[in-house]
Amino acid sequence: MNTQPGLAFEQAPPFSLPLRFFLTAPLFLIAAGILIALTPDALASRWTPQALALTHAFTLGFLAMVMLGAMLQMLPVVAGSPVPATRLVARASHIALSLGTAALMAGFLSGAARAYAAGVVLLLAAFAIFIAAAAVSLVRAAANATANGMRFAVMSLVFTVALGAALALLRAGWWNGSLEGASAAHIGFGLLGWIFLLVAGVAWQVVPMFQMTPPYPPRLSRWLAGVMFALLALRAAAPLLPHPVVILLDAGLAAGVLMFAFHTLDLQSRRRRKLPDITLDYWRFGMASLIASVLAWMLAQLWPAWADSSAYPLLLGVLFLFGFAVSVVAGMLYKIVPFLAWFHLQAQLQAKAGTIPNMKQMIDEKSMRLQFRLHLATLALLIAAVAWPAALHVPAGIVLALSALMLLGNLSSALRRYLQHGGQLS
């Protein structure tokens, strides 16, 4: 990620800072697997306490965890200057995000007001610290498509967290205002603003760089984030808008998502070196799931019985959160962690080529392939379990937990190699 010219080693945060986020994230996927295996309720209806806890194990425990770590690493490159107080920001936001996610999940599962309150306080602290630091970098950042995407993603994160906190306090009974439309706005900004726009923003830079493809069309990378953010902001006022306008806004958002997915697949098919690559496979699979999630949404517009079924929102969630977001993020981890291990080792030891492992040797290729297959099996089982939760929740949960455990093992093996060759953590 720091292969851009101009980034000195001194500007990169120590390896241990992003790494703590990357190694904590799979633990929440393991927790998600256990939750699914323990009860069919997690996949029976979107509003069960277990389904809400599961959603946030994915969105906060895995996705936000990796995204915060990756942004701390990328912002100095994107903005051209380090994030202020990086060490403090990384340590504090990592602890608060880990504990806050666990507390919010406990709040959903138990309904206890204290757990909700602890979750809200810790998560507000985690994101406030991170967003304040990221904002300093992003304000200074030169105009480029990735910085632009990150700006809109971080603005969406602000709305997501604020609305989420208000909804959690409402559920805890600490407050009893009316929040019409807040839930839909929280979900829209969270999934399409924060997760999707950040993935797209990062993709503008890393897909051509790591997968050796031609660049994205500048018109797409320049406009997509701003247009989608504007549509999301209008969509948040849905209770005040006539229904056809809401459908139009949704169609615009779906079109933006499809444009990104199809362009990414097209660029990947035109890559310059056609060598097998696990990140590429993860990304292609992620894009196929993203397209499938839009198809599931389209079907719901045409077929009201499908839209009203309890399976529809769960399938949408499984395809978008697991099939798309978890896949591209896991694929990126398989590039970022070996790259950082190699980068820090090289810089610390001033090693000659051949004396330290190269990027490809940091994690065993066969283990990554096996883990990818388990990941594919997990998605298939999760989709089937949405249709038959009682029959399939146990295998779906167990395979998810195994796949996440293997992801953790693979990432840890890069750390082991790094330490064996004398790498320092801070």
Letters for 366-405 (x = contact with ligand HEM by CB under 6 A, - = none) are: ----------------------------------------
* 3-class state of residue 5 by DSSP: coil
Judged on CB neighbours under 10 Å (0-12, 13-18, 19+), 321 is buried
Q: In the complex, what is the shortest distance from the CB of residue 317 to ligand HEM, in angstroms, rounded to a whole number?
A: 6
The dihedral sign for the CA sequence 209, 224, 72, 78: positive
* 3-class state of residue 360 by DSSP: helix
3-class SS shares of the chain: helix, strand, coil, % to 5? 80, 0, 20
The answer to whether 167 contacts ligand HEM (rule: CB under 6 A) is yes
Q: Which two tokens stand for residue 298?
A: 């389209």
Q: In the complex, what is the shortest distance from the CB of residue 81 to ligand HEM, in angstroms, rounded to a whole number?
A: 26
CB-based contacts of 49, cutoff 8 Å, min separation 6: 41, 108, 109, 110, 111
The answer to whether 213 contacts ligand HEM (rule: CB under 6 A) is no
The answer to whether 52 contacts ligand HEM (rule: CB under 6 A) is yes
The answer to whether 186 contacts ligand HEM (rule: CB under 6 A) is yes
Q: How far apart are CA 114 and CA 376, in angstroms?
A: 38
Q: In the complex, what is the shortest distance from the CB of residue 51 to ligand HEM, in angstroms, rounded to a whole number?
A: 5
The answer to whether 190 contacts ligand HEM (rule: CB under 6 A) is yes
- How many residues bind ligand HEM (CB under 6 A)? The answer is 28
CB 392 within 8 A of CB 372: no
* Nearest CB to ligand HEM, comparing residues 112 and 351: 112
Per DSSP, helices labelled H in 141-217 are 145-172, 182-188, 197-211
The answer to whether 160 contacts ligand HEM (rule: CB under 6 A) is yes
For helices 327-349 and 65-79, what crossing angle results, to 10°?
50
The answer to whether 191 contacts ligand HEM (rule: CB under 6 A) is yes
Q: In the complex, what is the shortest distance from the CB of residue 82 to ligand HEM, in angstroms, rounded to a whole number?
A: 24
The answer to whether 16 contacts ligand HEM (rule: CB under 6 A) is no
CB 158 within 8 A of CB 131: yes
Q: In the complex, what is the shortest distance from the CB of residue 171 to ligand HEM, in angstroms, rounded to a whole number?
A: 5
Give, in degrees to the nearest 5, the angle at Cα 290 between 284 and 294.
145
Give the DSSP H/E element, type plus range, for residue 385. helix 365-387
* Nearest CB to ligand HEM, comparing residues 167 and 383: 167
Q: Which two tokens stand for residue 307?
A: 């839209």
By C-alpha distance, which of 282, 288, 367, 379 is closest to 333?
A: 282
The answer to whether 59 contacts ligand HEM (rule: CB under 6 A) is yes
The answer to whether 289 contacts ligand HEM (rule: CB under 6 A) is no
Q: In the complex, what is the shortest distance from the CB of residue 93 to ligand HEM, in angstroms, rounded to a whole number?
A: 13
* 3-class state of residue 127 by DSSP: helix
Among 25, 123, 382, 386, the residue binding ligand HEM under the rule CB under 6 A is: 123
* Nearest CB to ligand HEM, comparing residues 179 and 347: 179
Q: How far apart are CA 337 and CA 411, in angstroms?
A: 7
* Nearest CB to ligand HEM, comparing residues 115 and 231: 115
Q: Which two tokens stand for residue 92?
A: 């504090």
Q: Which two tokens stand for residue 366?
A: 């066969």
* Nearest CB to ligand HEM, comparing residues 123 and 414: 123
Segment interacting with ligand HEM (CB under 6 A) among 155-163, 268-276, 277-285, 367-375: 155-163
- Amino acid sitting at position 11: Q
* Nearest CB to ligand HEM, comparing residues 76 and 256: 256
Q: How far apart are CA 417 and CA 398, in angstroms?
A: 29
- Note the residue count of the chain: 426
The answer to whether 168 contacts ligand HEM (rule: CB under 6 A) is yes
Q: In the complex, what is the shortest distance from the CB of residue 362 to ligand HEM, in angstroms, rounded to a whole number?
A: 30
| Rounded (10°) CA dihedral 231, 59, 73, 210 | -80
* Nearest CB to ligand HEM, comparing residues 184 and 370: 184
**Where in 310-329 is the site for ligand HEM (CB under 6 A)?**
313
Q: In the complex, what is the shortest distance from the CB of residue 313 to ligand HEM, in angstroms, rounded to a whole number?
A: 6
Among 23, 35, 43, 51, the residue binding ligand HEM under the rule CB under 6 A is: 51
**Where in 81-120 is the site for ligand HEM (CB under 6 A)?**
104, 119-120
* Nearest CB to ligand HEM, comparing residues 76 and 164: 164
Interface with ligand HEM (CB under 6 A): 46, 51-52, 55-56, 59-60, 64, 104, 119-120, 123, 157, 160-161, 164-165, 167-168, 171, 183, 186-187, 190-191, 194-195, 313
